[in-house]
Amino acid sequence: MNKCPVFLSSSTLCGWGIGLPYRMAFALAKRCGFTGIEILLTMRVIKTHRRLIDLADQFGLNIAFHKWWHGPQLSSKVLTALGIFPERGVQLRDVLPANFLWPVVVSSFNWDERNDLPHILVQPACTSYAGSAMPFDEFCEKARFEKTSLVFDVMHWLEYRYSCYGEGMPFSPTRLLLDALGDFAIWKEQIKETHIYDWKNTGPTYGSKWFPGDGVFPVFEFLSSVKRMGWQGRITWEIHPVLMATHPWYVRRLKELPQMVRDVGL
């Protein structure tokens, strides 16, 4: 059985073009054992995507992209106003060629763009966090009917399921794990990518996207169970960029992420 590709989200190192230069970020991802990188689509990335694809190839990395603009969040609106994200109304088909061959992740609040390009995957967005997203039941009904390719972002999926924001989910680690695995089993055939990280129920505003074991979600147990289900797909780790400046063993912990995937046999 082939090993799952293990990607690192670029928001970990250079999310909005703020952080490490892309060449340095790609080199670090490669050194830490990742096989690919998922890049947040900004205006800069849109204009230079061909160069970034070539750069990833130089490092022997696969590449995917993630669209997060035009959401209802204040941060998205601010980034749009600053020109980091495209202007309101601009869609993927307006800025990328129709034959774009690389995977692009969109959120459920951009549901209408799911057919704009050949390889689009849809990630859930919590209704309480992203007010324009359709209700969870409607999302499930549409995704099942259309056989939509999905991204199972564990925390965002549970946010959507419970209709609450991640750090406020008042449930035990066991409840979180069982609900996540129950839904994963139902959607296994349509899930093409898993976004994984840990999160805390209390604490600072960056309570999500922690290293495994630093929060409330049993990451290792989740991955082990996904392995036993026989699932194969892309696994993307995302760690909050604040930790790059504050965590004393940051690079060592990054190296542990792809190794954890291999340790469970994925």
Say which CATH number the domain at 54 has.
Answer: 3.20.20.150
Q: Is residue 59 part of a domain?
A: yes
Q: Is residue 81 part of a domain?
A: yes
Alpha-carbon distance of 36 to 233, in angstroms, equals: 13
> Taking the chain, what is the end-to-end CA distance rounded to the nearest angstrom?
9
Q: Is residue 164 part of a domain?
A: yes
**What range does the domain containing 211 cover?**
6-263
Q: Is residue 93 part of a domain?
A: yes
Q: Which residues of the chain have pLDDT under 50?
A: 204-205
Per-residue model confidence (pLDDT) at position 1: 57
Alpha-carbon distance of 134 to 142, in angstroms, equals: 10
Per-residue model confidence (pLDDT) at position 204: 47
Q: Is residue 130 part of a domain?
A: yes
pLDDT tens by residue, 243-264 = 877 777 889 999 999 999 999 9
Q: Is residue 237 part of a domain?
A: yes
Do 108 and 134 touch, CB atoms closer than 8 A? yes
Q: Is residue 1 part of a domain?
A: no
Q: Is residue 133 part of a domain?
A: yes
Per-residue model confidence (pLDDT) at position 81: 85
Residues 6 or more apart in contact with residue 138 via CB below 8 angstroms: none
pLDDT tens by residue, 197-253 = 998 876 544 567 899 999 899 999 999 999 999 999 999 999 988 887 777 788 999
| Count of structural domains within the chain | 1
